[in-house]
Amino acid sequence: MVHPIEIPYHIVQKWQEMMDLVGEIMHVPSALIMKVESPNIRVFVASESEKNPWKRDEVAPLSGGTYCEAVMATRQMLLVPDALQDDEWKSNPDIELGMISYLGLPITWPDGEIFGTVCVLDSKRNEHSEVHSRLLLHCRDVSQADLRSLVTIHELEQSRSEDPALGRH
């Protein structure tokens, strides 16, 4: 299902601040929220650090065997401490950008459809602590709560437009 709901500016800004903080706290060059826009995935929010190879609104095809694709397919957290030492990930396209470590989670809409991912990438081996995992889980939960609120508001607006009596007090 394609969700017609646009993410308002104030939520995008909140997510931006969240990812900037995550990047700073975890000492990684890249903290991202990715959004599926089939057949592509788009950088929806990118931490604003000078060593982040990704910028907001960059698009990549969903056929490149990326970490995010695995997260969305399995709907599970993925930790890759060092892709160069991992047979499954050593040909990952993110390595070309110098990003060899990954920690990410899926973000879903309230109906279970995939919105995208929240993830961090590093240019050096990174095992990521349990605190890092918990922080990323919290970011995922905040993002999903925002999506739930947006869907609820959208549904209320839809029912008001279909039944004008609901809009009166």
Domains of the chain by residue range: 9-159
Distance CA 129, CA 141 (A): 19
Q: What pLDDT band is residue 138 in, cutting at 50, 70 and 90?
A: very high
Could you report the per-residue pLDDT of 68-97, keeping only the tens digit for each? 999 999 999 999 999 999 999 999 989 999
**Ramachandran sector of residue 105 (left: φ over 0; alpha: ψ -120 to 50; beta: rest):** beta
**Exposure class string for 69-91: b at 16+ Cβ within 10 A, else e:** bbbbeeeebbebbbbeeeeebee
Q: Is the pTM of this model over 0.85?
A: yes
CATH of domain 9-159: 3.30.450.40
Distances from the Cα of 95 to the Cαs of 53, 61, 85, 102, in angstroms? Answer: 11, 16, 12, 11
Look up residue 53 and give its amino acid: P
Residues 6+ apart with CB under 8 A from 66: 41, 60, 92, 93, 94
Partners of 33 in the β-ladder: 45, 118
- The reported pLDDT for the residue numbered 162 is 73
Under a CB-based contact definition with an 8 Å cutoff, are residues 42 and 136 in contact?
A: no
DSSP 123: S
